[in-house]
């Protein structure tokens, strides 16, 4: 099953299970089924009331999600492209994130905000960014970063049942990745990283498409006698520090790989964290593989240069082993 199909399954099961769950976003309904076809067929199955096309009003899509969440619904709001989340930042970062705290625990905001991000489709600066770090930096939000089909299904179900606001990130080049997905209903708890590949010499912590590439690199390096342990955080908030630190203690080396621009990326935070908590076990400097600090270019040759690739990951690992 593809990542897209698994996500659709997870959403469908929750819509069937709980009538408080509804979805809203731009063109998620019958004419398109979402820009990436995740919700294709949902209007026919659940109706226009629950699968709700909205006007192009990002701030109010997010804010209406907040209002519905605090009055007894379980909204899943969609911002079509992650870059457009900038238009909804007030509702996400000032309202959804702070409401429970600011009101002294009087309310919770069980809102899931789905969005897609990432480069690789030649659609330039306004449709390709990776903004996870902004939300990791905002207290009060949970942040899910599923990279595999089996995870996306279990994590979306957990997100919908979670009492707090969840930023649910999907990567546009991961939608077609296939993986076996269990038939039975299952949930994946937040804050539990997964060791995607066990190894002894170096730990690689990566997300989304870079995670898939890191696993391929690890397989190749195994042939050269380098044993790489690959960790998939699955959620950034809450963050599974233990799995990461345990791995670094075992291998003594860490490479962090994401598609984000480098300065202030999630990898910067993880690097600082490991340095604080596992410095004594490090046998080499922590290395980061990120995109350069530029907006995302359009031309395929430029974009290919911008996004980190397997060679960069491989060379970086080799530089500290």
Partner 1 sequence: MMDVTKETLEDLYTQTLKVRLFEEKVWEVFGRNLIPGTLHLYLGEEAVAAGVSTALRESDWIQSTHRGHGHVVAKGADMKRAFAELLGKKTGSCKGKGGSMHITEFEAGILGATGVVASGLPIAVGAALSAQLRGTDEVVACFFGDGASNNGTFCESLNMSAIWKLPVIWVVENNFYAMGTPIKQMCPSQSIARRGEAYCIPSQVVDGNNALKVYKAAAEAVERARNGEGPSLIECQTYRKKGHSRFDPADYRPEEEEEEWLSRDPVEIITNLAIEQKALSKKKAENIRKQLQEQVDEAAEFAINSEHPEPEEALEDVFAEVA
Q: Which residues bind partner 1 (CB under 8 A)?
A: 22, 49-50, 54-55, 57, 59-60, 62-73, 75, 90-91, 94-95, 99-108, 139-140, 142, 163-164, 190-191, 237-238
Q: Which of 127, 137, 171, 212 is catalytic?
A: 127
Taking the complex as a whole, how short is the minimal distance between the CB of residue 302 and partner 1, in angstroms? 33
Classify residue 254 by burial, with Cβ atoms within 10 Å: 0-12, 13-18, 19+. buried
**Beta carbon nearer to partner 1, 192 or 216:** 192
Classify residue 311 by burial, with Cβ atoms within 10 Å: 0-12, 13-18, 19+. exposed
**Beta carbon nearer to partner 1, 43 or 214:** 43
Taking the complex as a whole, how short is the minimal distance between the CB of residue 285 and partner 1, in angstroms? 30
Residue 181 to residue 59: CA distance in whole angstroms: 35
Taking the complex as a whole, how short is the minimal distance between the CB of residue 95 and partner 1, in angstroms? 6
| Contact call for residues 308 and 255 (beta carbons, < 8 A) | no
Classify residue 211 by burial, with Cβ atoms within 10 Å: 0-12, 13-18, 19+. buried
Taking the complex as a whole, how short is the minimal distance between the CB of residue 194 and partner 1, in angstroms? 18
Residue 205 to residue 195: CA distance in whole angstroms: 9
The pair of three-digit structure tokens given for residue 266, joined into one six-digit string:
């999630």
Residue 273 to residue 54: CA distance in whole angstroms: 40
Contacts of 216 (CB under 8 A, 6+ apart): 310
Residue 47 to residue 64: CA distance in whole angstroms: 19
Active site residue 171: no
Taking the complex as a whole, how short is the minimal distance between the CB of residue 167 and partner 1, in angstroms? 14
**Beta carbon nearer to partner 1, 91 or 314:** 91
Q: To the nearest 5 percent, what fractions of the chain are helix, strand and coil?
A: 40, 20, 40
Secondary structure tally for the chain: helices H, strands E: 12, 12
Q: What are phi and psi of 117, to 5 degrees?
A: -145, -175
Q: Which residues are catalytic?
A: 127
């Amino acid at each position: 099953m593809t990542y897209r199909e698994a996500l659709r399954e997870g959403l469908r099961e929750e819509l069937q299970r709980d009538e408080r769950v509804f979805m809203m976003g731009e063109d998620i309904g019958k004419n398109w089924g979402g820009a990436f076809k995740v919700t294709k067929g949902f209007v026919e199955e659940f109706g226009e009331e629950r699968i709700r096309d909205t006007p192009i009003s990002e701030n109010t899509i997010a804010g209406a999600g907040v209002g519905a969440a605090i009055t007894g619904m379980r909204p899943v709001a969609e911002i079509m492209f992650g870059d457009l989340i900038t238009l909804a930042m007030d509702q996400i970062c000032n309202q959804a994130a702070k409401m429970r705290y600011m009101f002294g625990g009087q309310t919770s905001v069980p809102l899931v905000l789905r969005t897609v991000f990432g480069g690789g489709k030649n659609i330039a600066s306004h449709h390709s960014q990776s903004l996870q770090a902004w939300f990791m930096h905002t207290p009060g939000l949970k942040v899910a970063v599923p990279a595999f089909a089996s995870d996306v299904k279990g994590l979306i179900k957990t997100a919908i049942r979670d009492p707090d606001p969840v930023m649910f990130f999907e990567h546009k080049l991961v939608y077609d990745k296939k993986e076996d997905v269990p038939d039975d209903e299952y949930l994946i708890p937040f804050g539990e990283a997964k060791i995607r590949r066990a190894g002894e010499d170096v730990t690689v912590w990566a997300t989304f498409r870079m995670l898939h590439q890191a696993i391929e690199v690890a397989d190749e390096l195994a042939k050269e006698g380098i044993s790489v342990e690959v960790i998939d955080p699955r959620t950034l908030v809450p963050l599974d520090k233990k799995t990461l630190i345990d791995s670094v203690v075992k291998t003594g080396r860490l490479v962090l790989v994401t598609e984000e621009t480098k300065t202030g990326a999630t990898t910067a935070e993880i690097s600082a964290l490991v340095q604080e908590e596992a410095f004594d076990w490090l046998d080499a400097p922590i290395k980061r593989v990120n995109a350069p600090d530029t907006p995302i270019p359009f031309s395929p040759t430029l974009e290919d240069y911008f996004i980190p690739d397997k060679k960069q990951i491989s060379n970086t690992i080799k530089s500290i082993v």
